[in-house]
Amino acid sequence: MSKEKIEILQFSNDTKEGRKLLKPFLMFHWTHYQGIPQFIPLLNYEYLGFRMLGITGWLEARHVFFKHAEANFFLAVRNGKIVGRTDAFVNHHHNEHANDKTGFFGLFESVNDPEVSAALLERAAEYLRSRGMTTMRGPQNFPVNEATPGIMIEGFDSKPYVYYHYNYPYYADLLAAYGMRVVKKVVGMDVPVQTPIEERLLRVTELTKKRYKITLESFTRKRYPILREQMFDIYNDAWNDNWGFVPMSREEFYHNLHSVKVVWDPKMFHFAYVDGEPAAFFGSVPNILEVLNPVPGFRRCELLRAVKMLLLKKRIRSFRQGYFGIKPKFRKIGLDAVLISEAKRYTQSHGYTACDIGWVLEDNDLVIKMADFMGGKRSRVYAIYEKNIIE
């Protein structure tokens, strides 16, 4: 590797100059992963927004996330060429909930050079220290509970799924070289869809429905405002004790759910009621990465990828199960069996053939055992890193 001087460009997303740098910041991944079939990024509007369609991107200062967070972005440049990127951010909701001083870094990409990655990570740490943080954790996303956190450490040849990201295997070495340690792992699990519904699952489902007066519902246009409110309440209650969880504001939750509607099938979200009381939900989204792979000869043409996604989304045959919550008082009564049975009936009847459940905390035995029961196999593993940044 050349030992030419590495320059770190630091900028925010709330200035004119900073906003101009957001696009090269984002687009670095196209050159960085050129020729890697496992790398299929989301459309740029997810990050940079699309004002004509009323879409706000995750990186924009006007995103609802930045009502309770602040961030800076960093580009590593050598010989006039971008060789790495990352961001650093403070999520005040996280620190209020966890009662700590943890800052985050994310969107980390680097060439295979410890000098580049260390320069990026040190500038991120400096930014977080300047805001009173004592720990740096990541890689993490702005919608903390959404897209999968960490770096991939297993499953580099696995099928691309929406909201899972790909990275080079050497990333673990770069983070370790900077002195970061693994603090938690999350896993994804491939689960077959077209296998017959297990007899045991059917028995538990029918028994639970009768005993607890279970009723089921899915999203409809008329009921959407009511159901999203119920989903919001269940979500923050069900996930509250999970490691790293950050309660969402109603505005943030609604925004994230609305962004999913571009690609979702509303009938893939199932709500369970116990004697009329909202108790649980189980939701999935079609794996749009099946139809988002770049068009040959027009690799970076976002318009072609967007048109392709809209025209071909009915051909998608896999989905990501990533929305699941049961209120604590309704756990261990069989609601998971009821929701899984309902989801399996629907996806089987609509021609889906593959499913990935994730992300799941490595110590979430309940969900992992549930996936094992349905014939699931671990498909990929991500590691979240942490470092004390107090000098």
Last residue of a domain, one of 187, 214, 241: 187
Query: Domain check: are 264 and 153 in the same one?
Result: no
CA distance 38 to 48: 23
**pLDDT average, residue stretch 321-348:** 92
CA angle 370, 373, 378 (to 5 degrees): 75
Cβ–Cβ < 8 Å for 214, 347: no
Give the pair of three-digit tokens for residue 208.
Answer: 């639970």
CB atoms within 10 A of CB 211: 11
Question: Is residue 145's pLDDT more than 70?
Answer: no
pLDDT (tens digit per residue) in 205-242: 999 999 999 999 999 989 999 999 999 999 999 888 88
Q: Give the pLDDT score at 1.
A: 45
Q: Give the pLDDT score at 182.
A: 98
Structural domains of the chain, count: 2
pLDDT (tens digit per residue) in 8-42: 999 999 999 999 999 999 999 999 999 899 999 88
Last residue of a domain, one of 187, 208, 230: 187
**CB-count exposure of residue 286 (10 Å: 0-12, 13-18, 19+):** buried
Residue 81, CA atoms < 13 Å, CB-side half-sphere: 9
**pLDDT average, residue stretch 264-290:** 95
pLDDT (tens digit per residue) in 81-133: 999 999 999 999 999 988 999 999 999 999 999 999 999 999 999 999 999 99
**pLDDT average, residue stretch 279-298:** 89
Per-chain mean pLDDT for the chain? 91
Q: Give the pLDDT score at 294.
A: 81
Percent pLDDT > 90 in the chain is 69
CA distance 216 to 68: 35
391 located within any domain: no
**pLDDT average, residue stretch 358-364:** 89
Query: Domain check: are 14 and 140 in the same one?
Result: yes
Full residue range of the structural domain in which residue 227 is found: 191-382
Q: Give the pLDDT score at 303.
A: 83
Residue 45 belongs to a domain with what CATH number?
Answer: 3.40.630.30
Percent pLDDT > 70 in the chain is 96
Q: Give the pLDDT score at 49.
A: 83
Query: Domain check: are 39 and 158 in the same one?
Result: yes
Model confidence at 255, pLDDT cuts 50, 70, 90, reads confident
Q: Label the pairing between strands 135-138 and 318-326.
A: unpaired
Last residue of a domain, one of 164, 187, 210: 187
Query: Domain check: are 329 and 255 in the same one?
Result: yes
100 located within any domain: yes
Q: Give the pLDDT score at 247.
A: 85
Query: Domain check: are 160 and 195 in the same one?
Result: no
Taking alpha carbons only, the member of 115, 112, 116 closest to residue 169 is: 112
Please give the model's pTM, rounded to 2 decimal places: 0.93
**pLDDT average, residue stretch 47-73:** 87
Cβ–Cβ < 8 Å for 64, 17: no
Model confidence at 365, pLDDT cuts 50, 70, 90, reads confident
Question: Residue 353 — φ and ψ, nearest 5°?
Answer: -120, -15
Give bridge partners of residue 105 from the DSSP assignment. Answer: 88
CA angle 369, 375, 379 (to 5 degrees): 85
Query: Domain check: are 21 and 135 in the same one?
Result: yes
Q: Give the pLDDT score at 113.
A: 97
390 located within any domain: no
Question: Is residue 67's pLDDT more than 50?
Answer: yes
Query: Domain check: are 180 and 201 in the same one?
Result: no
132 located within any domain: yes
pLDDT (tens digit per residue) in 89-103: 999 999 998 899 999
Query: Domain check: are 266 and 289 in the same one?
Result: yes
Query: Domain check: are 127 and 209 in the same one?
Result: no
